[in-house]
Amino acid sequence: MKYVGIAAYSGEPPPNLIEDVREFINMLVRNCNAGKIALVVGGYWGLMKVLVDEGLRLGLPVVIIPPIELENIEYPENALVIKSGTSFRLRSVILVRSSNVLVALGGAGGTFQEIVTAYDEGRPVFVLGGKGLPTDKVRLLAPYIDDRKTSRIIYVEKVNELVDEVCSELRRCVA
């Protein structure tokens, strides 16, 4: 099983980004050997709720690692919820380290933290930009944040390019 970590906007997502997320999940299922991938997210609100619901609808295994402050809200029965007892920032580290790749689907400070953590941990990072959210600025950092070049950051503005890049990387990953 390959684990696709998803960093996504926790606020009220713009309608065009909701459609992009649905398209991303549908294309991921069609193009990425869906029987061998699972989604890993840090919650069930904002854009994460959209992608969890869509992933579950399409039969993908979904792992939710909520922060301790939100462990007791209602989660979908068919999702695996790991109550790690950690804060927002620490659960992001668990999310990244549990994933083979990190896909950022637009966001703000928390998504930035997950991108930097993935980079520092050597996880490939894929960013969907051009959505009018703070993470659009990641394009200025790609493909490397610093001279260590611990991982590549791939920044794209089209969903089909994002899926192609993610699927290609997952094919290279050792399970």
pTM of the model: 0.95
All domains of the chain, ordered by start, with CATH?
Answer: 2-172 (3.40.50.450)
Measure the CA dihedral 140/145/149/152, to 10°.
-50
What SS3 state is found at 6? strand
Average pLDDT, the chain: 95
In this predicted structure, the answer to whether residue 144 has a pLDDT above a threshold of 80 is yes
Please give the structure tokens belonging to residue 81: 């919820």
Residue 172, Cβ density class (10 Å: 0-12 exposed, 13-18 middle, ≥19 buried): exposed
Task: Identify the CA nearest to 149 among candidates 127, 168, 170, 124.
Answer: 124
Please give the pLDDT value at position 84.
96
62 φ/ψ angles, rounded to the nearest 5 degrees: -130, 130
Per residue in 67-94, pLDDT (tens digit) is: 999 999 999 999 999 999 999 999 999 9
Please give the structure tokens belonging to residue 146: 């610093």
In this predicted structure, the answer to whether residue 128 has a pLDDT above a threshold of 90 is yes
Per residue in 23-40, pLDDT (tens digit) is: 999 999 999 976 799 999
